[in-house]
């Protein structure tokens, strides 16, 4: 089942988010020490408060994956939405959860009045994620060399966009 996360999903999401940052540190710019999405009070106020900012969850026997979407807040760039924090637990990969989450995020973006573009970034540490995004029609528009450094390793960040 794919649905928007609610306040009662906060603890499950916090566990999933922490797992994502620890198990794939080169896939995310955030770390457990500085991630705003790991703050319970911030997360509770965020969920369900704004239709332009959502977290979508994939549920199997529990929360097995999630993706965030937010609309750019500046008037001049409010035609863009951004996907962030895509993660599916390792045991649930290759079962369609990632594509279902991405499809749900794009569906949500299409229903935001005036949104015509969706942007995201993916690091070179996550080639499967990049492949998923490309299969959905996202195209690379640029990259940032050595965007993320963790424990002596560096990866580049690939910027992608999809016109709705």
Distance (Å, whole) CA 49 – CA 26: 30
Q: Where are the domains of the chain?
A: 2-163
Rounded distance between C-alpha atoms, residue 126 and residue 141, angstroms? 17
Pairing state between β 117-123 and 153-163: antiparallel
Residue 50: what pLDDT?
Answer: 81
Question: Is residue 38 predicted with pLDDT exceeding 80?
Answer: no
User: Model pTM?
Assistant: 0.94
Q: What are 101-125's pLDDT values in tens digits?
A: 999 999 999 999 999 999 999 999 9
Average pLDDT, the chain: 94
Higher pLDDT, 19 or 37: 19
C-alpha distance from residue 22 to each of 10, 15, 16, 98, 146 (Å) = 18, 11, 10, 19, 19
Q: Please state, in angstroms and rounded to a whole number, the distance separating the CA atoms of residues 17 and 38.
A: 7
Q: Which of 78, 126, 142, 81 is nearest to 107 (CA)?
A: 81
Residue 67's pLDDT is: 98
Q: Quick one: which H or E segment has residue 117?
A: strand 117-123
As a whole number of Å, the end-to-end CA separation of the chain is 24
93 pLDDT higher than 90 = yes
In percent, the amount of the chain with pLDDT more than 90 equals 85
**What would the pLDDT profile of 6-34 be if each residue is shown by its tens digit?**
989 999 999 999 999 999 999 999 988 88
User: What's the pLDDT tens digit per position in 65-82?
Assistant: 999 999 999 999 999 999
Dihedral, CA atoms, 39, 70, 22, 129, nearest 10 degrees? 170
Q: Which CATH class is domain 2-163?
A: alpha beta
Task: Identify whether the C-beta of residue 119 lies closer than 8 Å to the C-beta of residue 80.
Answer: yes
Q: What average pLDDT does range 23-49 have in this prediction?
A: 84
For position 81, what pLDDT does the model report?
Answer: 98
């Amino acid at each position: 089942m794919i649905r928007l996360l609610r306040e009662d999903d906060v603890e499950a999401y916090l566990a999933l988010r922490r797992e994502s940052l620890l198990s794939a540190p080169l896939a995310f710019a955030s770390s457990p020490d500085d991630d705003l999405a790991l703050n319970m009070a911030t997360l509770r106020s965020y969920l369900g408060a704004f239709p332009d900012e959502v977290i979508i969850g994939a549920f199997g026997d529990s929360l097995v994956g999630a993706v965030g979407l937010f609309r750019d807040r500046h008037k001049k760039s409010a035609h863009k939405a951004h996907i962030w924090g895509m993660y599916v637990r390792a045991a649930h990969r290759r079962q369609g959860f990632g594509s279902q989450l991405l499809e749900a995020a794009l569906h949500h973006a299409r229903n935001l009045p005036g949104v015509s573009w969706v942007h995201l970034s993916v690091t070179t540490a996550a080639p499967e994620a990049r492949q998923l995004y490309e299969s959905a029609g996202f195209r690379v528009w640029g990259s940032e060399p050595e965007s993320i450094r963790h424990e002596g390793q560096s990866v580049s960040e690939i910027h992608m966009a999809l016109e709705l």
